[in-house]
Structures are given as structure tokens and as C-alpha cells.
Amino acid sequence: MARTPEELLRLRQQYVLQCVKNYYERPMNLVKGAMQYLTDSTGKEYLDFFAGILSVNSGHSNPEINAAVHAQVDKLQHVSTVYLIEPMLEMAEELAKVTPGALQKSFFCNSGTEAIDTALLTAKMFTKSDEVIALRHSYHGRSHVAIGATGQSTWRLPVSTMGNVHFTASGYCYRCPFNLTYPSCDVQCARDLEGVLQSSTSGRIAAFIAEPIQGVGGFVTPPPEFFPIVFEIVKRYGGVTIADEVQGGWGRTGTHMFSIQHWGVEPDMMVFAKGMANGYAIGAFIARPEIADAYTGPNISTFGGNPITMVAAMANLNYIREHDLIGNAERMGRILFDGLAELTAKHPLIGEVRGKGLMCGVELVRDRSTKEPAPAETIRVMELCKDDGVLVGRGGYFNNVLRLTPPLVVNADDVRRALRTLDSALTAVEKTMVFA
């Protein structure tokens, strides 16, 4: 018999760091997953529109991926990279083929955070510079280094994290830091980078790192000119461009395998985690060979590139391609965005809908004219959606953005069901509000 949520909350409180929190006033104990569906210990079924934070792109306990993993578990589990690991080397070869441009050499580890750390260290060693540029509202992970590159004030701690990071404007048109309007703004957010570089750095930077669509930041999606302009400036100042594809990679945004490809630019490095192995713990980055070869730091990640995770990553990639999950993300994304356009006309709580494919953010505001964020209402909408059997995520600088990111295997009925649930939840919450 599974334990009750109350028992689990007691264990959490007593034995786990207090920073580990859960969604929901009344959390559930999820005990089973099957593709886009989850079941809790009472037998209640949920349609998952968060995918374990954009990780389970090919679905929960996907039978094809799990068959490959089961076979590998029984064959060889772990030896470490002091030996040749066939599944890792095959995955590295495949990664060079599936990523754009001259990206060629990879490093494998166990989480996005680790991959970010090592990618930044590699860029620093290549350029022999210490200075890093990141975007406001970014999120790159949990370690001393990754926190330093994270542009969220809640992550500024009373102890030191990686220094020498300068933050430039993200392409957050809905809340433009320059109070301008696209396209007459001439993409000032991107052009401002030059001023940051001239005023705040030595002029020789190591790297520019960005999530093409900001995940934790609430799916901030810059205009088409943003990355072409920024990458050109970064190149002129000698920096390495790093695309953090931890949330946006592996077909999530439709049309392309990786989210940066929507902007038609080729980064010098790409970082992966989450959706790369469909829920198995993984982190990796790939770089142009001359950049990768500059790394002479510690070479061991004990479990990095282990056979089980690598087989999972390869089976996941094959599944994405064979089942056209990129095409499905695009098609289902269109239904989702069309449906949300209708909900926007009906619900004053919706300030903006943004994103690409099945990486869809809905920013909720108390007042459309002042754009006052609605974080408490966002929590209530999420709770009501959960009670109605649909799980959605939350994010945003003001914690007021619903993140709708189902496994990429969802069908049109699933999307319509999520839209109906969201419609009802918004209606219920709006009834308790007074709009100007």
C-alpha cells in the first residue's frame, strides 16, 4: 500500500532540506505514469501538462525506451569513463549529427547544473577570460557557478557564487525594460548588450549564455532579431555563444530539434539535460572541436556517460524521430495556442500567451492595463486544474506564468481537455476578483 500524501509530507518535513517544496496545498502521491498520464495513490488519473519539468518528452515509462533500458540494465550497468563505453561513444557521434553546424565534441554528466558548470569553465579556458554575460530572468542551475549565472534576485545568496557575470536585457517584450514596443523598438534589448560590454567588462569576454526561451523565467520568447543581433555582438567581443537547451531541446518547441534553431543562428556550444534521456538523470554539452579541446580540467564524472543513461538517451532520440514528435509538438502546439487565443478574449486574467510548440506560457495579471502580476491567482488556477485532473507548471519572474508543457505525445483530445480545464479554472478564479 502506498503511503498517504500526509505521511509523505511528514517525512519531507522531518528528513529533507526545507528548500525542497512541492506544488499544491493538497499534494498527491503519484505512483504510476503511462505516456501523458499519471495516476496517484487513490487511483485518480491526471493528464500531465508539465512532463516532470519538460523532461518526459516521449511520455512517462515509455515502453520502447524502457525496453532498451531494461535490456541494458541486465547487460552492463556501470564501468565509468576510465574504460571505453560503447553506448556513450555512439551517443556522442549521434549528438554531433543531430546538432547544427560545427558542434562536434561532447561531455556527459548527470544534471543540467553540472553541464552548465563545465560548459562555462570550457568557454573560460578557451578564451582565457573570466567574464560571462547572461540574461536577466535566466535560470541555469543550482550550483555555486550556475547560481551566479542565474538572473533571478531570489537566487542571490548571502554567500558568494560565481562572480564576473554581467546581466543584459532579455527579450521580454510584454514587460519591455525600455518601455518600447516591438518592432518600432528596433530590438533595443538586444542592442543594449554592446553598452553592457563597453561599460561593465574588460571588452574580452568568455561567454554569452542564454536559454533561447527562458524556462523558469516564464517562457520569455525574444523576437526573431534578438539572437542574430546578440550573437554578432558577442563574436566581436571574442565570446563563445552558449545555448542552454535544458528546457527547450529535444523537439519541445516544434519545427526543430533545438530551440535556438528558431532564431537561425548557430551557437558555439549547446547544453542539455531534462528531455535528453526522457526522465533518466543526464547532463551534457557539445562544443565546436577547438573549444572542446581547450578544456583540460578534471576529466571524470563517475556516472557521466553511463551505459543505462546513454541507452535511454539514444532510445529517446530514436523515439522522437520515428514518431515525429517534433511535428506533433508543432501541430498540438497550434491547437493549444489557437485555443488560448480564444481564452484570452474571454478571460481578463490572461495578460499574454507566448512560447513555441509545446513550450507555452500564459502570464496572468490582475489588471491588463497596469500588468500587475497575479501570483496568488496563478496558484489557485493550478490547484483547480489539478483537482480537475490536469497538471500544469508555474514560473515567471513574478511567479505568475502558467507553464503548459505536456509530453510531446499528447493528442488533440488531450489538448482540448486541458483547454477546457483551464477555462473552468480561470472562470472560477475570476469570479472572486474585481477587474478595473
Tell me which residue has cell 552548465: 116
Q: Give the footprint of ligand PMP on residues 15-34 (CB under 6 A).
A: none
Q: Give the footprint of ligand PMP on residues 32-61 (CB under 6 A).
A: 53
Q: How far is the CB of 246 from ligand PMP (least distance, A)?
A: 4
Residue 354: CB partners within 8 Å, gap ≥ 6?
Answer: 174, 219, 220, 221, 360, 361, 363
CB nearer to ligand PMP: pick between 126 and 139: 139
User: How far, in Å, CA of 80 to CA of 109, rounded?
Assistant: 11
Closest to 141 measured CA to CA, from 160, 155, 157, 125: 155
Residue 134: phi and psi, rounded to 5, are -130, 170
- Count of residues that bind ligand PMP according to CB under 6 A: 16
212 binds ligand PMP (CB under 6 A): no
* Candidate residues 99, 111, 122, 261; the one interacting with ligand PMP per rule CB under 6 A: 111
Q: How far is the CB of 436 from ligand PMP (least distance, A)?
A: 35
HEC string for 301-368: CCCCCCHHHHHHHHHHHHHHHHCCHHHHHHHHHHHHHHHHHHHHHHCCCEEEEEEECCEEEEEEEEEC
269 binds ligand PMP (CB under 6 A): no
Tell me which residue has cell 549565472: 149
* Candidate residues 92, 116, 265, 415; the one interacting with ligand PMP per rule CB under 6 A: 116
Q: How far is the CB of 134 from ligand PMP (least distance, A)?
A: 11
Q: Give the footprint of ligand PMP on residues 227-246 (CB under 6 A).
A: 244, 246
247 binds ligand PMP (CB under 6 A): yes
User: How far, in Å, CA of 428 to CA of 421, rounded?
Assistant: 11
CB nearer to ligand PMP: pick between 5 and 215: 215
* Candidate residues 216, 233, 240, 385; the one interacting with ligand PMP per rule CB under 6 A: 216
CB nearer to ligand PMP: pick between 56 and 343: 56
CB nearer to ligand PMP: pick between 41 and 399: 399
* Candidate residues 5, 87, 112, 373; the one interacting with ligand PMP per rule CB under 6 A: 112
C-alpha cell at 197: 560590454
What is the number of residues in the chain? 436
User: How far, in Å, CA of 251 to CA of 328, rounded?
Assistant: 9
C-alpha cell at 272: 542539455
Residue 372: phi and psi, rounded to 5, are -60, 125
Instruction: Tell me which residue has its CB nearest to ligand PMP.
Output: 112
User: How far, in Å, CA of 172 to CA of 223, rounded?
Assistant: 9
343 binds ligand PMP (CB under 6 A): no
113 binds ligand PMP (CB under 6 A): yes
CB nearer to ligand PMP: pick between 46 and 50: 50
Strand partners of residue 46:
38
Q: How far is the CB of 216 from ligand PMP (least distance, A)?
A: 6
* Candidate residues 59, 141, 339, 396; the one interacting with ligand PMP per rule CB under 6 A: 141
Termini Cα distance of the chain: 51
- The site for ligand PMP (CB under 6 A) is made up of 53, 111-113, 116, 139-142, 211, 215-216, 244, 246-247, 273
